[in-house]
A and B are shown apart, each in its own frame.
Chain A
Amino acid sequence: DQQVKQNSPSLSVQEGRISILNCDYTNSMFDYFLWYKKYPAEGPTFLISISSIKDKNEDGRFTVFLNKSAKHLSLHIVPSQPGDSAVYFCAAYSVQGAQKLVFGQGTRLTINP
């Protein structure tokens, strides 16, 4: 049972345009949602998070939107830069559950010059 899903394995965006990565979840008990970024041959690094009591969190070029009624979150990157090319994982966490994150399958973002 995949509780967190990223249905787009890959996404290609032109440099300077907006990149939108999507994530769906099924467990309404999740309290926090996070995005991680991963470059080849490196471990994932934390990018941005959002609490379930908010619908938007912004950090520079990165904004995460949460739609609880649709059980959907998205990561917007504006403007996209070549260094943003990486695999992006969304993850979710329940405060009342075990102390562990549930990850999606990942989306490979490629920024074209």
Chain B
Amino acid sequence: DAGITQSPRHKVTETGTPVTLRCHQTENHRYMYWYRQDPGHGLRLIHYSYGVKDTDKGEVSDGYSVSRSKTEDFLLTLESATSSQTSVYFCAISELGGETQYFGPGTRLLVL
């Protein structure tokens, strides 16, 4: 299994509070991704990174920001959480980009 961890694994927060989710990899892969999974929508890309300090938006990036200061860590921040951001968040990594990605175990976020 690819070495990917996500923290926290579960979080309950209140509307309007900032939240940061962390993805950590030990594979030294160049590409890292953040997805959210919601019923009826499958996996939707939020942001991705193609190198340290190099990031780009996905299809559902509004309300989210990311940072990657080290190869191994990719942070997802909800600046002011809303109930619509209640979801399961997955981090993924890829050595060459696209094609085969390896996913972390997910973070279940509930925004009250």
Tell me the A residues contacting B by CB distance below 8 Å. 6, 9, 32, 34, 36, 41-46, 49, 89, 91, 93-95, 97-101, 103-106
Contact = CB atoms under 8 A, between A and B. Distances in A.
Given A41-B106, A98-B56, A99-B48, A46 B101 contact: yes
Contacts of A93: 98-99
A9 B105 CA distance: 22
Contacts of A45: 103
B42 A42 contact: no
Contacts, number: 64
Interface of B: 4, 31, 33, 35, 40-45, 48, 50, 56, 58, 90, 92, 94, 96-106
A8 B98 CA distance: 25
B23 to A, nearest CB: 11
Contacts of B90: 43-44
Contact of B42 (A97, A100, A103): A103
Given A43-B106, A99-B31, A100-B58, A6 B42 contact: yes
A44 B104 CA distance: 8
Q: Is the interface of B mostly helix, strand, loop or mixed?
A: strand
Contacts of B56: 98
Contacts of B41: 105
A103 B43 contact: yes
A104 B98 contact: no
A34 to B, nearest CB: 7
A100 B102 contact: no
A95 B98 contact: yes
A98 B57 CA distance: 11
A106 to B, nearest CB: 5
Given A44-B43, A91-B43, 13 more contacts: A43-B106, A44-B103, A49-B99, A89-B42, A95-B98, A97-B98, A99-B48, A99-B96, A100-B48, A100-B58, A105-B42, A106-B42, A106-B43
A94 B99 CA distance: 9
